[in-house]
Amino acid sequence: VRSNEVSYRMKYLTCMAAIGGFLFGYDTGVISGAMPPLRRAFDLSTKQQELVVSSTILAAFLSSLLGGSLNNTFGRRLCILFSAAVFTIGSLILAFAWDYGSLIFGRVVVGVGIGIASLTTPMYVAEIATPSMRGTLVTINGLLICFGQFSAGMVDGLFDQFFKDGGWRFMLGLAAVPSIIMFIGFLSLPESPRWLVMAGKSGAALDVLRTFRDTDREAQDEMVEIMDGLATDASIDDEDIDDMSGSNLSIEMSGNDRLTTRGRKSCASSLTRVVDMLRDSTTRRALFLGCGMMLLQQLSGINTVMYYAASIYEMSEFKDNRC
C-alpha cells in the first residue's frame, strides 16, 4: 500500500514540476505564430519584432544567473511558486497588452519566470526523486519542453484560424492556465530534502524522504548520502560525518544545525567545484560533452526557425492551398 502511495506522490510531483518545462517550450513556440498578428496590430518594425523575442530571452538569462542564489536562500519550492506566479502575471499582461511598451514589459516578466523555473524544476525533481528514477524524471522535464513547443504550434494555428488578427491575445494569455495549475499544485508539495538539510532542518528533510520512499530504511540511507555529500562539499571533518550517520542516524538531528552554515558555505563554493570537475578527467569529459552539445545546438541556428517560422513562411508568400 505504501509503495502505491509513494508512486502516486512521485507521479504527481513529476507532473507539477514538468509544467515548468512545458511553459518554457510553449513560450518558445507560441511567439512564432503570434508575431505576424502582433506586427500588424502594433505596426512593429523589424527591430521591434526582434526586441519582442529577445527581451524574454535576455530576462530569462539574467534571472537564471540569479536563480542559484535565490534557490540557496529561499529554497526550491518557494522559487518554483514565485516563478509560476511571475509567469502568470506576465501572460496576463501580454493578453491585455495595449501598446508596444506593455508588450515588451509582459515579455520581460515572462522571461523572469522562465529563467527561474527552467533552473529550479529539474533541480527540485533530481533532489527529491529516488536515485533509480532520477534520470528518467529529469528527462521527462526535457520532453515536456518539446511538447510545449508542439502545443504552441497547435494553439497558434487554432486561434489564427478563428480569430485572425486578434488571436495573439489568446495565444500569449493561454500560458497563464498551466502556470496557475503549477502554482496550485506546488502549494501541497514539500521542500527539497537537500535544501532542508542545508538549512539545518534535518528532521523535516527526513520526513520528506519518508513520504517519497518505500521504507524508512531507504529514507535513512539517502539522508546519510545527502549529508555525506554536503559534508564533502563543505569539507566537514570525518568525525562530524560519523556523528551524522550513527546507528539510528540521530534523525531528529538537533546537533546537525551546524550544517546550516556549512551547507551555505558549500553553496558559495560553486567555482571551486567547477575547477575540481575540470581537473578530473571523467567529469571534465562529461562537462565538455554536455556544454559542447548545447553550443552546437545554438550554432545550428534552430532558434531562428523556432522564433520566426511563421514570419518566414509569410515572407515566402506560402498560401494555405500550397502548404
pLDDT tens by residue, 96-142: 999 999 999 999 999 999 999 988 988 898 888 877 777 777 788 88
Give mean pLDDT, residues 244-268.
45
Q: Are residues 234 and 110 in the same domain?
A: no
Identify which of 289, 268, 307, 245 has the alpha carbon closest to the alpha carbon of residue 25. Answer: 307
The answer to the question of residue 38 being in a domain is: yes
In a domain, 163, yes or no: yes
Q: Is the pLDDT of residue 1 over 60?
A: no
According to the model, what pLDDT value does residue 272 have?
74
Query: Which of 139, 149, 134, 145 is closest to 192 using CA atoms?
Result: 134
Listed in sequence order, the DSSP H helices in the chain are 2-42, 46-74, 76-95, 100-128, 134-163, 167-173, 176-187, 193-198, 202-211, 216-233, 238-244, 259-267, 270-279, 281-299, 302-315
For the record, the C-alpha cell of 86 comes out as: 511571475
Structure confidence at residue 261 (pLDDT)? 46
Asked if 85 and 162 sit in the same domain, the reply is: yes
CB 209 within 8 A of CB 193: yes
Of 163, 188, 213, the position where a domain reaches its end is 188
Task: In whole angstroms, give the CA distance from residue 319 to residue 314.
Answer: 8
| Mean model confidence pLDDT for the chain | 82
Radius of gyration of the chain (CA): 22
Q: How many CB atoms lie within 10 A of CB 215?
A: 12
Q: Is the residue at 117 inside a domain? A: yes
Please give the pLDDT value at position 130.
Answer: 79
Q: What's the pLDDT score for residue 216?
A: 86
> Could you give the CA distance from residue 24 to residue 85 in angstroms, rounded to a whole number?
14
Model pTM?
0.80
19 and 127 belong to one structural domain: yes
Position 229 scores a pLDDT of: 77
C-alpha 115/C-alpha 94 separation (Å) is 18
CATH number at residue 20: 1.20.1250.20
The DSSP string of 124-156 is: HHHHHS-TTTHHHHHHHHHHHHHHHHHHHHHHH
296 assigned to some structural domain:
no
Q: Which residues contact 31 (CB under 8 A, 6 or more apart)?
A: 52, 53, 56, 172, 307
Same domain, 68 and 212: no
Q: Cα–chain-centroid distance for residue 157?
A: 27
Which residues lie below 8 Å from residue 176, measured CB to CB, with a gap of 6+? 87, 88, 91, 92, 95
Q: How far apart are the first and last CA of the chain?
A: 54
pLDDT surpasses 50 at 251: no
* Claim to verify: residue 45 and residue 21 sit in the same structural domain: yes
Domain extent, residue 230, equals 194-268
Residue 62 in any domain: the answer is yes
Q: How far is CA 274 from the centre of its chain?
A: 21
- Rounded CA separation 22/5 (Å): 26
**Structurally, how many domains does the chain consist of?**
2
pLDDT at 309: 78
The reported pLDDT for the residue numbered 22 is 92
Say yes or no: 134 and 221 in one domain: no
- Which one of 246, 268, 290 terminates a domain? 268
Which of the four pLDDT bands, split at 50, 70 and 90, describes residue 318? low
Percent of the chain, pLDDT > 70?
84
Enter the DSSP assignment of 320: G
